[in-house]
């Protein structure tokens, strides 16, 4: 990859981030606007379209201005860091990515607050005046609502084949193996060969498989969201949505496992490291594209959010905190997938375990 190619790849990654935040409000049930529940009859209100339009322009303009600032700082030498990959320093990449995520998140939270204020000013209530009826299907989880975990066997097979090959060819692997590479494929950090370092990416693959199996289980165990006025229709819709999400998790998990298998093969057996560097940049783009394309299709199978006055439990529209809710995992109001009920102590154990796993992988490397 040339210097121009590096800048093009980085620009594509930055553009994808802007697209993700531009489309974020549209990955919600029809009656959820920036994490705020809106009565069905007002979901298409002109003011709601106005909020979305102003948000889109805000994140686009903020992204452009932030990119100009970062480039200016780089040209002024304030974001230089060695080693530099053809003019693109790691500090520039990290600063631009994390900085924009924070800026765009703040913009989203601001619009979340504006929609909440507008809803209150209009006197719109999503809490029924009388006790709300509930619908439940006792045979719901006995149905085929997700794909079996046996679908993860190909993921495990790829991992075992990679680990077996690494152990069988251990003597042929160089005594010094690259642990960190630039976009150009140059070794930035190497370490002495050990069994753990050779199998490091296999450990990562096993962790990935475990995470996606847990997500698949979560899809199955989530509480039902059946509409009391149309239980049969909403049940079918719920099953279609969950099976689609289950298939997406299986597909993304396999994509990740294959990606790490390719990286392992190229780093241990002297492959084309420029290609590996390109994969490191292009893979996030491919992943976002897959999630985006699948998400738009799955979104049509998603039922509306129950109008149960839960707005105050969604902090900023994204973080769920409800001590009265025994559920640990709940479906996101905004975006594709699920989030944790941060009011549950177990949620912090899960976060700590995730951080610990990342730390162990870094130590082993």
Structure confidence at residue 82 (pLDDT): 40
Rounded CA gap, 102 and 327, in Å?
Answer: 28
Which residues of the chain are under the pLDDT cut of 50?
Answer: 1-2, 81-87, 129-131, 134-138, 140, 307, 365
**100 in a structural domain:** yes
323 vs 146: CA distance, rounded Å: 28
Report the alpha-carbon distance of residue 334 to residue 231 in Å, rounded: 24
The residue from 125, 147, 180 where one domain ends is 125
Claim to verify: residue 324 and residue 260 sit in the same structural domain: no
Phi then psi for 254, rounded to 5 degrees? -65, -40
The predicted structure's pLDDT at residue 242? 80
Last residue of a domain, one of 304, 322, 341: 304
> How many Cα atoms are found within 13 Å in the side-chain-facing hemisphere of 213?
14
> Tokens representing 127?
């809490």
Is there a domain that residue 348 lies in?
yes
Residues 146, 288, single domain; the answer is yes
Pairing of strands 187-192, 314-315: unpaired
**Token pair of 217 as six digits:** 């289980």
Residue 343 phi/psi, 5° resolution? -80, -10
User: In the numeric block, which tokens belong to residue 8?
Assistant: 């093009």
Q: What is the pLDDT of residue 155?
A: 94
How many C-beta neighbours within 10 Å does residue 358 have?
12
Residue written as token pair 């003019």: 87
Q: Which of 151, 258, 160, 288 is nearest to 213 (CA)?
A: 151
pLDDT of residue 151: 92
Q: Are residues 291 and 160 in the same domain?
A: yes
233-259: string of b/e by CB count within 10 Å (b at 16+)? ebbebbbbbbbbbbbbbbebbbebbeb
Indicate the pTM of the whole model.
0.69
- The reply to whether 290 and 349 lie within a common domain is no
Domain boundary among 266, 283, 304: 304
Q: What one-character DSSP code corresponds to residue 133?
A: P
| Cα angle 212-215-220, degrees, rounded to a multiple of 5 | 135
Provide CB contacts within 8 A for 181, sequence distance 6+.
187, 188, 267, 273, 276, 277, 280
Q: Does residue 132 fall inside a structural domain? A: no
E strands present in the chain: 32-33, 36-37, 176-181, 187-192, 314-315, 319-320, 329-331, 338-340
Q: Is residue 133 part of a domain?
A: no
- pLDDT, tens digit, 9 for 90 and up, residues 186-237: 666 677 778 888 888 898 899 889 888 988 888 877 766 655 555 666 667 7
Does 36 share its domain with 115?
yes
Q: How many CB atoms lie within 10 A of CB 64?
A: 11
Structure tokens at 260: 């790490």
Q: How far is 357 from 33, CA to CA, in rounded Å?
A: 35
* 61 and 174, same domain (yes or no): no
Q: How many CB atoms lie within 10 A of CB 92?
A: 21
Question: Do 196 and 162 have their domain in common?
Answer: yes
Structural domains counted in the chain: 3
Strand-pairing partners, residue 340, are 329
Residues 99 and 228 in one domain: no
Q: How many CB atoms lie within 10 A of CB 193?
A: 15
Q: Which range of residues forms the domain containing residue 98? A: 1-125
Beta bridge partners of 191: 177
What pLDDT was estimated at residue 7? 65
How many angstroms separate the Cα of 188 from the Cα of each of 5, 83, 178? 19, 7, 8
Whether the bond into 317 is cis, omega within 30 of 0: no
């Amino acid at each position: 990859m040339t210097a121009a190619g590096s800048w093009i790849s980085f620009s594509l990654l930055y553009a994808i981030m802007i697209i993700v935040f531009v489309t974020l409000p549209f990955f919600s049930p029809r009656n959820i606007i920036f994490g705020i529940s809106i009565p069905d009859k007002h979901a298409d209100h002109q003011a709601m379209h106005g909020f979305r339009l102003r948000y889109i322009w805000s994140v686009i303009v903020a992204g452009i201005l932030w990119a100009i600032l970062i480039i200016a700082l780089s040209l002024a030498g304030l974001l230089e860091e060695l080693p530099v990959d053809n003019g693109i320093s790691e500090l520039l990449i990290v600063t631009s990515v994390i900085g924009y995520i924070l800026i765009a998140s703040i913009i989203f939270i601001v619009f979340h607050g504006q929609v909440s204020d507008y809803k209150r000013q209009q006197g719109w209530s999503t809490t029924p005046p009388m006790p709300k009826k509930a619908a439940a299907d006792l045979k719901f989880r006995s149905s085929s609502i997700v794909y079996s975990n046996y679908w993860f066997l190909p993921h495990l097979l790829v991992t075992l084949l990679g680990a077996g090959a690494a152990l069988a060819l251990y003597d042929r692997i160089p005594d010094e193996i690259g642990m960190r590479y630039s976009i150009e494929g140059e070794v930035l950090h190497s370490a002495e060969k050990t069994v753990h370092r050779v199998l490091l990416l296999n450990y990562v693959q096993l962790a990935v498989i475990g995470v996606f199996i847990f997500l698949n289980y979560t899809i199955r165990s989530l509480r039902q969201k059946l509409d009391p006025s149309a239980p049969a229709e909403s049940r079918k819709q719920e099953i279609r949505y969950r099976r689609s999400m289950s298939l997406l998790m299986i597909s993304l998990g396999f994509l990740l496992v294959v990606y790490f298998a390719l990286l392992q093969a190229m780093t241990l057996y002297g492959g084309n490291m420029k290609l590996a560097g390109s994969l490191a940049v292009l893979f996030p783009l491919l992943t976002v594209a897959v999630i985006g394309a699948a998400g738009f299709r799955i979104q049509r199978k998603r039922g509306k959010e129950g109008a149960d006055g839960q707005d105050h439990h969604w902090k900023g529209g994204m973080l769920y905190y409800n001590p009265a809710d025994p559920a640990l995992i709940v479906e996101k109001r905004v975006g594709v997938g699920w989030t944790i009920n941060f009011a549950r102590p177990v949620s912090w154990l899960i976060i700590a375990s995730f951080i610990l796993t990342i730390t162990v992988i870094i130590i082993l490397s």
